[in-house]
Structure 1
Amino acid sequence: MKRLTVDVRPGEYAIAKLPQGSPLPSLPTSDGLVSVTSTPDEVSVVALAAIVPAEAKVDGGWRLLTVRGPLEFTLTGIMASLAGSLAAAGVPLYAMSTYNTDHILVKAVDLDRAVTALREAGNEVHA
């Protein structure tokens, strides 16, 4: 696996869950990552804590780490490498991908350990 460049994004993020069958929320996207995922069982939202829907079940206190991209779809092992480094350091994560790249959320209290673990694995991390 080649060395990755990872940026720690500003702001506190939240992971939220809306009830099954909820309409997809319309959220501003200019201030950071916003992801809305719908399944037959739920609607999940990942966004800056200040903009998640008020009626959602919310788990806050997350920080966002983004792999600099774009990444080719043919690349393999990126998420596995990052997750393995964090798992070895005992850092829980929430992983997600977009068209261009991969993203990992870690609890704010674990951010320093996450950055250290990723750097020790040979990655370049900009905090």
Structure 2
Amino acid sequence: MTSQRLRIVPSQFVVEHLPNSTFPEDDEWIALVRAPEGLTVIREAPPWADGERWKGFYGDAAHGLDQPGMLAALVGPLAAAGIPVFVASTYHADLVLVPDHRLDDAATTLREAGHRIAD
């Protein structure tokens, strides 16, 4: 298992599906994924946003793209605990989102799996 040092991103996020868009109308997004069925947008949750809010774990140290198992070491324990995830990967690390109301459960699960979470 690959132990990682993580931090909790202070923002809350929303994940949106825009079925008829190829690019959002604003530039307030964190990550975009374009697929045949539309555009998926991750953005900081504005106060008026409806729907599920997500919190993110992000690695404190960059890891190489050729290092296997980094994402699996995070999502595996979360899946085993029944905690949903949504992931956006960057060049340096993975942003692992969990539902806001499951943040404490997720942090406990990741610690029990050997990861360190900065306070």
TM-score class normalised by the smaller sequence: 0.7 to 0.9
Asked whether the equivalents of residues 6 and 58 of structure 2 are also in contact (C-alpha less than 8 Å), the reply is yes
TM-score, normalization by structure 1: 0.82
Amino acid at match of 2:46: A
1:93 aligned partner: 85
1:44 deviates by 0.7
Residue 27 (1) aligns with residue 19 (2): no
Q: Secondary structure at the match of 1:9?
A: strand
Which structure 1 segments of 5+ residues have no match? Answer: none
More strand by share: 2
How many residues get paired?
117
Asked whether the equivalents of residues 28 and 43 of structure 2 are also in contact (C-alpha less than 8 Å), the reply is no
Q: Secondary structure at the match of 1:50?
A: coil
Name the % identity.
31
2:39 aligned partner: 43
| Aligned structure 1 segments of 4 or more residues deviating by more than 4 angstroms | none
Question: Distance in 2 between the 1:39 and 1:2 partners?
Answer: 30
Residue 69 (1) aligns with residue 61 (2): yes
Which structure 2 segments of 5+ residues have no match? Answer: none
2:117 aligned partner: 125
Asked whether the equivalents of residues 83 and 106 of structure 2 are also in contact (C-alpha less than 8 Å), the reply is yes
1:59 deviates by 4.0
